[in-house]
A and B are shown apart, each in its own frame.
Chain A
Amino acid sequence: MIALILSLGLGVGLFVLLYVLARRNHTPVEGSAHLFVEARGSLRTLQHGLLPPDLLNRIFDRQDLRYVVGQTPPDIQKLFLAERQRISLLWVRRVRVEILRLMHFHRGHSRFHSRISLLTELRLALDFAGLLLACRILEALFYFRGPYAAPGMVNATAAGAARLCTASEKSLSFLDRANLRPFGGGSTRGNATI
């Protein structure tokens, strides 16, 4: 009886293993270049479009709020707050999407192209998870309590995202033109450098 149970257990275990292996993602036939391009695009969007301090200071600046509250009637105050809420939600949702893209890139491909230690990878995974959680919390705060609900958390999220951008930049640095230079023109006839 015990032998039968063991055999059955082994059989189920092997079946599960085969199922998991069969479901694993494989590298597409056309290669994974598009993932690098996507990651590079996300990095650029974050660094130049969503995280510049000037833009963040303007979006969450209380000077505009003070002006509107002090100088305009309630209907304009309402319009202003609704608009700033819309913009702040747009900001945090886009930051989250771009962070997710970078995380997918790191999870799947960066380890093949840069030397990252296990400790660094763990720290990076924690950073990604923390940042995604912070984005969700910020989204809820903006939605329920308005755009000025958590200025400290906005700054912390932006700083965390900037740190991840720096880490991702290192993983993608091999795509920089300067780093590609040694591969071009360095080959002699019949003796490829690469």
Chain B
Amino acid sequence: MNFIPKRNDVVAAADDLRRRTLAHLPLPLERMIYLASTRDYNSGLYHHQGLAARYSEVAACEGLADCHRESFRELLSTSLEELVRQLEAYAESTGSLASNFVTAWKELEPYRVAVPVGTDPLAADFLFSNLKVALTIFENRLTPRPPLAPLA
């Protein structure tokens, strides 16, 4: 991948991705995690076989990167209340036990490797901070509350 793709191809690849794949992922959090998972940890390049076959490998990579940045921006502008809701919905969509999900996310902090390259450290830190608080709120909702004392 050593040539610059045409901007039209990149836009078309990103639109294609939004229409077909990302349309099934309604939450920005889901989209950001999914798009980060298409990125190679070693090279930082994005891969998507279907998209690369339809356009070019470079156009697919750039299109994925555009969509990744877009989902990050969306998530950054999400309120804390909405972020808690998205976390709950995402945990449910993974099929894992909610308590296991919270434990894993609190310990591993997978969201730290899910931000696009070139993100300003303040924006990334702000999102991590919000996710940390949102996870704590989510965890708090999972713990059973003591029953209310009976009225005298």
Contacts and interface: CB of A to CB of B under 8 A. Distances in A.
Interface string A82-109: 0110110011001000000000000000
Contact of B129 (A55, A86, A94): A86
A55 B132 contact: no
Interface stretch (A7-15, A60-68, A110-118, A130-138): A60-68
A100 B129 CA distance: 27
A152 interface: no
Contact of A67 (B81, B125, B129): B81
Contacts of B8: none
Interface residues of B, number: 18
Contacts of A45: 120
A76 B137 contact: yes
A184 interface: no
B27 interface: no
B120 A64 contact: no
Nearest to A81: B133
**Leading 10 A-B pairs by shortest Cβ distance:** A49-B120, A64-B80, A83-B129, A67-B81, A80-B133, A87-B126, A76-B136, A87-B129, A72-B137, A63-B79
Interface of A: 45, 48-50, 54-55, 58-59, 61, 63-64, 67-68, 71-73, 76, 79-80, 83-84, 86-87, 90-91, 94
